[in-house]
Structure 1
Amino acid sequence: MQQRTLTMDGENPLGVRPIKGLLFSFSIPAIISCLVNSVYNIVDQIFIGQGVGYLGNAATTIAFPLMTIIMAFATLIGSGGSAYAALRLGEGRKREALLTLNNLLVIAIGLGILLAATGLIFLKPILTLFGATETTMPYAIDYTSIVLMGVPFSVISIALSNMARTDGHPRMSMYGILIGAALNTVLDPIYIFVLDWGVKGAAIATITAQFVSMVVLCYYFLRKGNMRFTRRYMKPVGRVWYKIFSLGISSGITSLVACIMQVVMNNSLVYYGNQTEITGDVALSAMGIVMKIAMILASVCIGFGIGAQPILGFNLGAKKYARVRHTYLLAVSIATGSILIGWAVCQLAPHLVLSLFGKENQTFTDFAVRCLRIYLGGIFCAGFQIVSTNYFQATGQPLKASLLSMLRQLILLIPLLLILPLFFGLNGLLYAGPCADIGSAVIVALFILPEMRKLNRRIAESQGPALAA
């Protein structure tokens, strides 16, 4: 009997099925997963705020940068392993892909334990660094110490979620995240309100959900996957580890840079906001909402970038260059069209968007509208930038992928956040957003255009003999 992800003649569908259908089948689960994570963060904050109060929400806010760093490492190995396995499957080297899956599991277990232990050992200094005060520290310790115990579950589930897409089962990746998010949403009110466990209850709900997600994905690779866990392939292989880390570093850098950017942004908003009638608290709160909106809009682009990765990697390995080009151009077009719609809504109906987050005083609303329109003024470029960065990662070009992943936030946005306010005050922080978005898109174009010309030459060369015949 053929594997369910293979065609009737035994070919991998990544190399033969129509690109449009493939791209949507891989991207939609990824988009749903990204959106679920974005919405889940908001829902989690609501439960904690109602059950514990602002100090409980402060605890989760303080813990967020630490969780972002952990997520960065998990995404690094997951996306790197997925990209390398896709390339090897495209070349017909299934044993190398199996080595990647099994070595990735070993890495995820070790990395998860290491991160959890480091966080618990240095918990108080870390929380102090991220803004804990004498008042919020007890809540932050209660929440973060429990969440850290579930880090191995989280790292393993994120890594295997990426591999499920490469294995030809993007829905399994979505199921793992959806099941965990749904369980967490159910357990939160039970643990917080019914059992009166406070922030500890929220943390326990989180690690319970992460454990269940891990079990679902592990079961898939034990019993259902085309690639499966095999003990003999779990022996560490140096070249596989190197490829996993080198190909995944761009994704890890993106998350780490986002953490640094958030720290710079928060401090700058408070400093320059307090120099105006708006105040730092209002500026910080308004930008927090705008960043959540940006995260939701970007989820669609990220989903198409993630969905395109296994298709790009497999077909490059199989030397099907026309399919590589078609996949990239289609993913860029759809991602750009999608975010253009979101950008237009933010520009034309900002009050409608902001009303989803509740009503505040007029000063807050006026600044939030201005913030939404200006800071997200260049977000229409995100589809092109995100898919292009993922292209270089999927096609085995980690240096370019790493550079481009750092481009928008580390190389452009952070310096702009520090420089523009010196001349334009609080408005300078808002204009830093579109300047970074448009500037990074121009630079990404300088990288991707030569790549498309190279693909065109390869397509012409591969078609040459056939045309001559």
Structure 2
Amino acid sequence: MGHVVTMTATGSIGLVAIFIVDALNLFYISLLGQEELAAAIGYAGTLMFFAISVAIGMTIGASALVARALGAGDRERAARNGGAALLFIGLSMTAIAALIWPNLHFLTGLLGARGETQAIAVGFLQIVVPSTPAVAIGMGAAGILRAVGDARRAMYVTLIGGAISAALDPVFIFGLDLGVTGAAIATVISRCAILAIGLHGAIVVHNLVRLPDPATLTGIARPFLLIAGPAVMTQLATPVGNAYVTAQIAQFGDDAVAGWAVIGRLIPVAFGAVFALSGAVGPILAQNLGARKYDRLRSAMRDALIFTIIYVLSVCAALAIFAEPIADLFGATGQARELIVFFCLFAAISFLFNGGLFVANAAFNNLGYALYSTMFNWGRSTLGVIPFVWAGAKLYGATGAIAGWALGAVVFGIASVIVCFRVIATIEHRDDAEPPTGPVPPTAQSPFTSAKGATLG
């Protein structure tokens, strides 16, 4: 539990820093007093979530491959895996950005953006989208740092990037009177900082990035894609579900979308530790899988779930107490205020089940069952979103849509955890019948291994 908490705490500090900056963007823009601006940021954030989700999925692949090699005591292979993974991430995200950029007007239109609100969203995205490869590679480098157990430096990657954005936002938005354009410019500068800091840690400090020759690169591509491919598909499910919710809420006007935009910024700030937990527990599971410590696979999962329950209940209590002040902070009125308060009082508790799903998905991705995480996440984002949100919107308007979104998490959160523990039992039974593929040196320099070879994670 101590290791789970330490890795999660350091990861969540950096992660929440980025999300706080994102919320500050919306806060600063809300001070400009134009409802269309907040709604435009909501549409832009929904679209950017797609690209970032692909980067997160590929980061999972990078982290898992490096962690497995380290767990097996092969640092050279870990470095080759890290270099190949960052190359794959850079090429893939460049292609995605090139595909998105010329189609921004069409894509924002699909989400329900219209008129001046759509024009503002497109202008913001035209500046930010080209920086997508930079932030993706930086995230991949942070994943390598987590794989080697350097939680502190992985935290600095996003923490410093967030601090830079927080400092520049008011300068560009108000000082230079650039408004939304200023927020976009500050975002790009922050992403470049994330890239530089992440690469410095992975390359200079740990020497865990080594570009392999073409033959080796081809050999690494398959195991990387076997993890990253399903992980990307898994991550894409959430923005697809969010896009559907956004489109349903859009029919109730810009004030409803503005309220949903605030909720979208509030969720990762309030539940950042739950998001970080899924990233932190993955390398722990991967290293213990490489060391064949099956009892620690189960204990890490149990501890992660206990952490989730305690954390979510604590945060939900705080949100309920401060629901009205949170709405006041963003100057929300009317329908926007109603949605924010409803989320804080009722819908937030759904993260008990979302948290279970996140932890189970991390286990599936790192234990060789990534297809399961894809199935559960897409189930949550389709069967657990579309009918519930549609029915809620028809019966109770925008508030009903958010209630439906929250209710859909229950079944998939519980089912994913049950299946996860069965997967661990299956792996143990399978591997007990097979000899180890290679010895784990008793003094292997694994960040989760003691001097006597006992795995700590």
TM-score by length of 1: 0.82
SS at match of 1:80: helix
Pair 1:178 & 2:144 matched: no
Q: For 1:35, which of 16, 19, 44 is the aligned residue?
A: 16
- Classify 1:296/1:21 alpha carbon distance in 2 versus 1 (closer, same or farther; 3 Å): same
SS of 1:319's equivalent? coil
Residue 60 of structure 1 aligns with which residue? 41
**Letter of the 2:376 counterpart:** L
**Residue 421 of structure 1: CA displacement?**
4.7
Aligned positions of 1:99-138 closer than 5 A? 99-138=80-119
Once the two structures are TM-superposed, the CA of residue 145 in structure 1 deviates from its matched residue by 1.9
- Are 2:27 and 2:330, in contact at CA under 8 Å, matched by a contact in 1? no
Return 169-178 or 54-63, whichever deviates more.
54-63
SS of residue in 1 equivalent to 2:116: coil
Q: Could you say which residue in structure 1 is the equivalent of 2:307?
A: 334
Does structure 2 conserve the Cα–Cα contact (< 8 Å) formed by 1:377 and 1:433? no
CA-CA distance at 1:441 after TM superposition: 2.4
What are the equivalent positions in structure 2 for 1:1-40 lying under 5 Å apart? 20-40=1-21
Deviations 1:343-399 (A, max 9, x none): 3444566445545544635x7655654454343343322332221221111212111
Gaps of 5+ in 2: 435-457
2:333 paired with 1:360:
yes
Structure 2 residue 247 is the aligned partner of structure 1 residue 247:
no
Residue number among 249, 258, 276 corresponding to 2:238 in the alignment:
258
Contact 2:30-2:37 within 8 A present in 1 as well: yes
Query: Given the alignment of the two structures, is residue 298 of structure 1 paired with residue 271 of structure 2, yes or no?
Result: yes
Change (3 A) 1:73 1:269: closer
Cα distance in 1 between the residues matched to 2:428 and 2:147:
25
Q: For 1:422 and 1:389, how far apart are their aligned partners in 2?
A: 32
Structure 1 gaps, min length 5: 1-19, 274-279, 463-469
Aligned to 1:311: 284
Determine if the alignment matches structure 1 residue 325 to structure 2 residue 298. yes
CA displacement at 1:225 relative to structure 2: 0.6
Report the Cα distance in structure 2 between the residues aligned to 1:431 and 1:141, rounded to whole angstroms. Answer: 29
Distance 1:402 1:96 in 2: 27
1:214 aligns with 2:187: no
Residue 398 of structure 1 is matched in structure 2 by 370
Which range is displaced more, 111-120 or 425-434? 425-434
Cα separation, partners in 2 of 1:213 and 1:270, compared to 1, 3 Å: closer
Q: Which has the larger radius of gyration?
A: 1
- Residue 150 of structure 1 and its aligned partner are, at CA, apart by 1.5
Find the aligned partners of 1:236 and 1:396 in 2 and give their Cα distance: 21
Deviation at residue 107 of structure 1 after TM alignment: 1.4
Q: How big is the shift at 1:437?
A: 2.0
Match of 1:407 in 2: 379
Could you say what the CA RMSD is over the residues aligned between the two structures, in angstroms?
Answer: 3.1
**Displacement of 1:65:** 2.9
Q: Percent identity?
A: 21
Q: Matched residues in 1 for 2:33 and 2:262: separation?
A: 21
Distance in 2 (CA, whole Å) between partners of 1:230 and 1:455 is 31
Return closer, same or farther for 1:234/1:76 CA change in 2, 3 Å cut-off. Answer: farther
CA positional deviation for 1:79: 0.9
Give the secondary-structure state (helix, strand or coil) at the position aligned to 2:146.
Answer: helix
Q: TM-score, normalised by structure 2?
A: 0.84
- Kept in 2, the 8 Å contact 1:112–1:152? The answer is yes
Equivalent-residue separation in structure 2 for 1:319 and 1:185 (angstroms): 43
Q: Is the 8 A contact 2:38 2:258 kept in 1?
A: no
Is the 8 Å Cα contact of residues 44 and 188 (structure 1) preserved in structure 2?
Answer: yes
1:62-211 counterparts in 2 under 5 A?
62-211=43-192
Distance 1:133 1:24, change over 3 A: same
Residue identity matched to 1:220:
G
Which residue is equivalent to 2:452? none
What amino acid sits opposite 1:25 in the alignment? T
Shift of 1:315: 0.8
CA offsets 1:408-465 (integer angstroms, 9 cap, x no match) = 2223122322245556666653442443122112321441242354467689999xxx
